[in-house]
């Protein structure tokens, strides 16, 4: 099993896709933090919740980690590497578990890079504008911890989604439209439902203040439940589909 | 040891298509078996079931006495390559092998060893998207050899290989079998593998048509003559006009029953049809193959 996880982690590292996702993610996070930090009025950059939102753009990492997770499964089907993968490791459940673990670990790296870049950029801008940091150490701790946990779970969630929808384009469309369309709309209009969704759970996990969000611990549980349900469903599907 | 591979009443249906139909055979150690049949005969489907990638509708396939999925670290016993490529274009050949090897604890150094074995070490670090078809075949073969298996299962491995590559593969497989290992190699034509294999299994429409040694197959006077022309349709009409029984292969070759090569040559000459090939009697492997695979069809 350890070997299988090492193999999956080599799969993530050995193509340029991952590097591209990391680079794109970092650029995006820094860009958004800089634009916000430079153009916002000073009054909008003081106060706990304003500063928290400036420093939490690192949670964009969930999108990129989710993409990486989806790709780890769907590119096996797209390029047919699923054949040698299963010839070497006929247990589909074990292959899926190895992918979940490897992508979870990759998710941690994604979040550390994104949150690190976002924090550094944000703090530099606050310092440059002479604005005092009003967040407590606890706030920042929750922000970092929540982003890391949330992103790692989103990477696993991507693996689950990819094992359910093995068509690469289809899975990517579902993932992106879920994050950028479905969740924001549902949360805006029916927050009592939307707060149970995995993206809002990450917001809750990072300590973003909103009356409608779940408590961080509950959000973590909800996210684990999403990731594991998708994986269990994907596993059931993979177990009974032929590989051609 | 008997029965390294045992296939029993293996059947696979895809909706209304019966791709493999009640197929049974077994392979013994040290043999090189050609698994032959025309396009769509069910070869790949059979191999997929043998290798645990597809589930039989009925029957079973065992390797080393067990279903493939029950083997512990299967690549140490069975090395397999299926027809379609299975490489990520953006990964190097070496990383492809390392990734597979690592998944079952084969050291990275073995990847370099098999790359040398298939003479791909020069391109090891290049991305697979820059590989030619023949190089991909070699990489596939390398992945099958990683675990130094007892049984090799190769689906159309000569596809895309140049003549030198085909000769190399033939020598390699013969040496492999000499060392007591077993090889199952599929192909859509007998000619491609005739110099490699010592046994043949011919299937058509998912059913076993012939199971024999190569000598039996080629020594049985099958009475048919294989011929080709640049104008196959005209030749077909000319021969049928002489009341000869002719079967046509998808690649344009014609198998003619009940006439000597001399007579066929004379008919073609009289009709002014150029012949590009005319092979008679025992040497006509292609004729035997055509006859055997068209019997069930008609
Ligand atoms: N996944 C599938 N879904 C539906 N039909 C299939 C599927 N796979 C194979 N078939 C059908 O099963 C039959 C056997 O196909 P198979 O690929 O096993 O043939 P083959 O002997 O390998 O042919 P070739 O020499 O062309 O590779 C064909 O009629 C094919 O159309
Ligand atoms: Mg085939």
Predicted complex: ipTM over 0.90: no
Question: What's the pLDDT score for residue B298?
Answer: 41
Kindly state if the Cβ of B293 falls inside 6 Å of ligand 1.
Answer: no
Contact status, residue B275 vs residue B265, Cβ threshold 8 Å: yes
- Inter-chain residue contact A87 with B104, CB threshold 8 Å: no
Q: How far apart are CA B103 and CA B73, in angstroms?
A: 10
**Ligand 1 centroid – CA B88 distance (Å):** 24
Closest chain A CA to residue B52: A90
Q: Is residue B117 within 8 angstroms of chain A, CB to CB?
A: no
Q: How far apart are CA A233 and CA A226, in angstroms?
A: 11
| Contact residues, chain B, for A242 at CB < 8 Å | 48, 53-55
Mutate which of B23, B35, B45 for ligand 1? The one with the most ligand atoms within 8 Å of its CB, which is B45
- Inter-chain residue contact B85 with A75, CB threshold 8 Å: no
**Ligand 2 centroid – CA B46 distance (Å):** 9
Closest chain B CA to residue A5: B103
Question: What's the pLDDT score for residue B184?
Answer: 95
Q: How far apart are CA B62 and CA B71, in angstroms?
A: 10
Q: Is residue B51 within 8 angstroms of chain A, CB to CB?
A: yes
Q: Give the number of the atom of ligand 1 that is nearest the alpha carbon of residue B37.
A: 21
Say which of B55, B98, B104 has its CB closest to residue A88: B104
| Contact residues, chain A, for B92 at CB < 8 Å | 14
**Ligand 2 centroid – CA A217 distance (Å):** 53
Question: What's the pLDDT score for residue B288?
Answer: 67
Residue-averaged pLDDT of chain A:
93
- DSSP string for B78-140: EEEE-SS----TTSBHHHHHHHHHHHTT--HHHHHHHHHHTT-GGGTTSBGGG--HHHHHHHH
Contact status, residue A33 vs residue A118, Cβ threshold 8 Å: yes
Would you say residue A120 has pLDDT above 80? Answer: yes
Roughly what angle, to the nearest 10 degrees, separates helices A92-128 and A137-164? 150
Say which of A3, A79, A90 has its CB closest to residue B87: A79
What is the per-residue pLDDT across A163-216, written as a single tens digit (0 to 9) for each? 999 999 999 999 999 999 999 999 999 999 999 999 999 999 988 877 788 888
For chain A, give the longest Cα–Cα distance. 62
Question: What's the pLDDT score for residue B191?
Answer: 76
Question: What's the pLDDT score for residue A42?
Answer: 84
Question: What's the pLDDT score for residue A14?
Answer: 82
Kindly state if the Cβ of A42 falls inside 6 Å of ligand 1.
Answer: no
Question: What's the pLDDT score for residue B297?
Answer: 46
Contact status, residue B223 vs residue B274, Cβ threshold 8 Å: no
Take atom 12 of ligand 1 and give the residue whose Cα is closest: B19
Distance from CA of A10 to the nearest CA of B (A): 6
Take atom 7 of ligand 1 and give the residue whose Cα is closest: B14
pLDDT in tens, chain B (298 residues): 458 999 999 999 999 999 999 999 999 988 999 999 989 999 999 999 999 999 999 999 999 999 999 998 999 999 999 976 789 999 999 999 999 999 999 999 999 999 999 999 999 999 999 999 889 999 999 999 999 999 999 999 988 888 888 888 888 888 888 888 999 999 987 777 888 888 999 999 999 988 888 777 765 555 678 888 998 899 999 998 888 888 887 778 888 877 788 888 999 999 999 998 887 654 456 666 776 666 544 4
What is the per-residue pLDDT across A31-43, written as a single tens digit (0 to 9) for each? 999 999 888 888 8
Question: What's the pLDDT score for residue B2?
Answer: 59
Residues 30-69 (A) with a CB less than 8 A from some CB of B? none
Q: Is A226 helix (H, G, I), strand (E, B) or coil?
A: helix
Question: What's the pLDDT score for residue A99?
Answer: 96
Question: What's the pLDDT score for residue B261?
Answer: 81
Q: How many C-beta neighbours within 10 Å does residue A63 have?
A: 23
Q: Is residue A79 within 8 angstroms of chain B, CB to CB?
A: yes
- Inter-chain residue contact A87 with B89, CB threshold 8 Å: no
Mean pLDDT of A119-141: 91
Please give the helix or strand (H or E) that residue B259 lies within, else none. none
Mutating which of A9, A76, A83 best tests the B interface, going by the most B Cβ atoms within 10 A? A83
A143 contact partners, CB below 8 Å, separation of at least 6: A52, A55, A56, A115, A135, A206, A207
What is the per-residue pLDDT across A87-113, written as a single tens digit (0 to 9) for each? 999 999 999 999 999 999 999 999 999
Which numbered ligand comes closest to the C-alpha of B40?
1
Take atom 27 of ligand 1 and give the residue whose Cα is closest: B39
Spatial CA neighbour of A115 closest among A87, A140, A89: A140
Cβ-count burial B260-286 (b if 16+ within 10 Å, e if not) = ebeebbebbeeeebebeebbbbeebbb
Q: How far apart are CA B103 and CA A14, in angstroms?
A: 14
| Contact residues, chain B, for A87 at CB < 8 Å | 51-53, 74-75, 80
Contact status, residue B222 vs residue B287, Cβ threshold 8 Å: yes
**Ligand 1 centroid – CA B295 distance (Å):** 20
Q: How far apart are CA A2 and CA B147, in angstroms?
A: 18
Q: What is the interface size between A and B, counted as CB pairs within 8 Å?
A: 86
Which numbered ligand comes closest to the C-alpha of B187?
1
């Amino acid at each position: 099993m350890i070997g299988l996880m090492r193999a999956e982690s080599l799969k993530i590292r050995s193509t340029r896709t991952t590097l591209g996702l990391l680079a794109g993610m970092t650029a995006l996070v820094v860009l958004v933090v800089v634009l916000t930090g430079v153009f916002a009025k000073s009054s909008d950059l003081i106060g706990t919740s304003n500063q928290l939102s400036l420093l939490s753009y690192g949670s964009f990492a969930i999108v990129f980690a989710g993409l990486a997770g989806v790709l780890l499964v769907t590119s096996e089907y797209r390029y047919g590497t699923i054949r040698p993968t299963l010839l070497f490791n006929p247990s589909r459940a074990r292959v899926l578990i190895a992918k979940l673990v490897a992508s979870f670990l990759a998710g941690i790296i994604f979040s550390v890079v994104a949150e690190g870049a976002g924090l550094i950029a944000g703090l530099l801008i606050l310092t440059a504008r002479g604005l005092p940091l009003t967040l407590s150490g606890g706030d920042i701790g929750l922000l970092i911890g929540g982003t890391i946990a949330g992103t790692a779970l989103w990477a696993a969630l991507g693996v689950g989604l990819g094992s359910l929808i093995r068509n690469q384009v289809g899975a990517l469309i579902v993932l992106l439209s879920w994050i950028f369309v479905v969740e924001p709309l549902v949360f805006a209009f029916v927050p009592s439902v939307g707060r149970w969704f995995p993206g809002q759970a990450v917001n809750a996990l990072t300590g973003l203040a909103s009356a409608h969000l779940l408590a961080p611990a509950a959000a973590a549980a909800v996210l684990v439940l999403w990731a594991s349900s998708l994986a269990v469903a994907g596993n059931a599907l993979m177990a009974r589909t032929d590989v051609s | 040891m008997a029965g390294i591979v045992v296939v029993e009443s293996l059947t696979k249906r895809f909706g209304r298509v019966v791709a493999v139909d009640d197929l049974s055979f077994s392979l013994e150690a040290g043999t090189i078996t050609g698994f032959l049949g025309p396009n769509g005969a069910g070869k790949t489907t059979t191999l997929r079931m043998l290798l645990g990638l597809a589930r039989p509708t009925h029957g079973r396939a065992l390797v080393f006495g067990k279903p493939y999925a029950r083997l512990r670290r299967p690549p140490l016993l069975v090395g397999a390559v299926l027809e379609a490529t299975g490489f990520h274009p953006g990964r190097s050949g070496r990383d492809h092998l390392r990734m597979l090897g690592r998944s079952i604890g084969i050291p990275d150094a073995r990847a370099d060893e098999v790359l040398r074995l298939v003479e791909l070490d020069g391109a090891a670090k290049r991305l697979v998207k820059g590989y030619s078809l023949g190089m991909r075949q070699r990489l596939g073969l390398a992945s099958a050899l990683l675990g130094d298996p007892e049984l090799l299962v190769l689906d159309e491995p000569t596809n895309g290989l140049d003549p030198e590559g085909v000769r190399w593969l033939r020598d390699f497989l013969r040496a492999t079998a000499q060392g007591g290992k077993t090889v199952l190699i599929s192909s859509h034509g007998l000619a491609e593998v005739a110099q490699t294999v010592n046994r043949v299994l011919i299937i058509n429409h998912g059913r076993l048509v012939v199971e024999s040694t190569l000598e039996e197959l080629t020594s049985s006077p099958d009475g048919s003559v294989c011929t080709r022309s640049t104008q196959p349709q005209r030749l077909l009409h000319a021969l049928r006009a002489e009341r000869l029984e002719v079967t046509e292969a998808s690649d344009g070759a014609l198998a003619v029953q009940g006439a000597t090569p001399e007579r066929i040559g004379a008919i073609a000459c009289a009709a002014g049809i150029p012949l590009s090939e005319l092979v008679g009697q025992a040497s006509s492997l292609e004729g035997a193959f055509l006859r055997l695979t068209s019997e069930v069809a008609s």
